[in-house]
Amino acid sequence: MTPPEGAARRHIALLPELGQGLDNLRAHKLRSALTMLGMIFGVAAVIAMLSIGAGAQQQVIAFIEQLGVRNIIVEAREAGDSQTLSRVRQVSAGLTFRDLRMIEASLAGLEASTARKRFVPTKVLPRPYGDVPVVFGVAPAYQSIASLEMTSGRFFTGAEADAAAAVAVLGQAATVGLFGVEDPVGRFVKVNDSWFRVIGVTGRQLVVQSDVGGLPAQDQNNVIYVPLKAAILRIDDALAYYKDEIDAVYLHLAADADVAASGTVVRGLLDTTHRGASDFNVVVPAELLAQQQRTKRLFEFVMVAIASISLLVGGIGIMNIMLASVMERTREIGVRRAIGAKRRDVIRQFLIETTIITVSGGIAGTIVGVTLSRLVAYLAGWSTIVTVTSVVVACLVSVTVGIVFGLYPAVRAARLDPVQSLHYE
């Protein structure tokens, strides 16, 4: 008999046992369904938790990539009250243009840079439908540093920035809030007491709902960009007393520059000039990205470990039910052994039934997990991602747990004495 013929005969021999296993499970429908529930909930928990975690992690990673892996961002920690401000000002003047000039003169591989002055207007016209847009005073280089894409119009030029021209570029949310579906290019926006002509609209940017690496949560779409000089000269800030001269610095490095080492240099320079006041954060997106990817791998491992507890409980349930099944079918096992069935045949029969339960539970659990993931995304508005890895891992773990916990009852059934089994009542 050739190997292919032997394999074909073994497969054919399994068909009656498969049918018998299905018949045995159908004979106890409720018990079989309850046994599957452990597998279903376990697989569904693994898939749902991994999909929610993967969605959240991917959103943060995409946001960090949007910040630019070749960028360095310095954010001022501004005082919220006069006592804190007085204490900080005794040792540091805060983030200033002098700091920017010092960094530009000292940092190797610097391709572009800009300071940022941020304002929260007290009044804006047209009156916004939602939250009041935030004003960013920046240099023209900010467009390339932040990788802003223009969906309409253009960004302001160097000449307009030098002349403190009253021009503005709107983010997507600011455009909708101020002008609805109308094209704002060529129209005017009043910020506090100054009018600005809209010359462009930027594309949509990713947003996260929490601080990332020292960067405060901010809707980058609900922003009005104006030239830095225009922001300082034309817009009155009621909270100017509490603020630094500038509140952020954006640096863009050349492709061959060591971003991590450059970040260390920037921290050292500012620590020296600010005399250890710790009134700033230096954010290196490349470092944040590497850290977030490590966190993602650890998070996935923890989620699988936690969710696998459900599968472990399901496996214990399978063992319990299969042991009870062995007791119920002791006489049947004795009859099979008496007419020539070997121990491996009995083991295979019970493992087939266990595999049917785990595979069916894994398939049903996958459907429930994917549905639950989509439901969470719809109701909570979260980003969820069902990956092939999560489905494969959940199903493999469920089948492995089922077979491992079903092996002992199968071996116990095979070790029953045929003579005693025939007399078992």
Q: Which of 184, 92, 104 is nearest to 139 (CA)?
A: 104
165, 221 in Cβ contact below 8 A? no
What pTM does this model have?
0.67
Q: Which of 227, 218, 113, 119 is nearest to 169 (CA)?
A: 227
What are the b/e assignments for 104-119, b being 16+ CB within 10 Å? eeebebbebbbbbbbb
Query: What's the confidence (pLDDT) of residue 419?
Result: 62
Q: How far apart are the first and last CA of the chain?
A: 43
Token code pair at residue 119: 């304002």
Which stretches of the chain drop beneath a pLDDT of 70? 1-17, 20-21, 23-24, 27-28, 63, 65, 80, 207-217, 238-242, 303-304, 306-308, 310-311, 416-425
- In whole angstroms, give the CA distance from residue 222 to residue 226: 13
Query: What's the confidence (pLDDT) of residue 48?
Result: 82
Query: What's the confidence (pLDDT) of residue 331?
Result: 73
- In whole angstroms, give the CA distance from residue 309 to residue 329: 30
Element housing 185 (H / E): none
- In whole angstroms, give the CA distance from residue 397 to residue 64: 33
Q: Which of 30, 46, 17, 23 is nearest to 321 (CA)?
A: 30
What are the b/e assignments for 359-386, b being 16+ CB within 10 Å? bbbbbbbbebbbebbeebbeeeeebbbb
Query: What's the confidence (pLDDT) of residue 6?
Result: 47
102, 273 in Cβ contact below 8 A? yes
- In whole angstroms, give the CA distance from residue 19 to residue 343: 19
Region of residue 164 (phi > 0: left; psi between -120 and 50: alpha; otherwise: beta): left
Query: What's the confidence (pLDDT) of residue 251?
Result: 93
- In whole angstroms, give the CA distance from residue 51 to residue 39: 18
Region of residue 153 (phi > 0: left; psi between -120 and 50: alpha; otherwise: beta): left
Question: Could you give the C-alpha distances from 353 to 136, 339, 416, in angstroms and in order?
Answer: 66, 21, 18
- In whole angstroms, give the CA distance from residue 373 to residue 44: 9
| Three-state helix/strand/coil letters over 192-257 | CCEEEEEEEEECCCCCCCCCECCECCCCCCCEEEEEHHHHHHHCCCCCHHHCCCCCEEEEEECCCC
Query: What's the confidence (pLDDT) of residue 420?
Result: 63
Q: Cis (ω within 30 of 0) for the bond into 126?
A: yes
Element housing 48 (H / E): helix 29-67
- In whole angstroms, give the CA distance from residue 378 to residue 308: 26
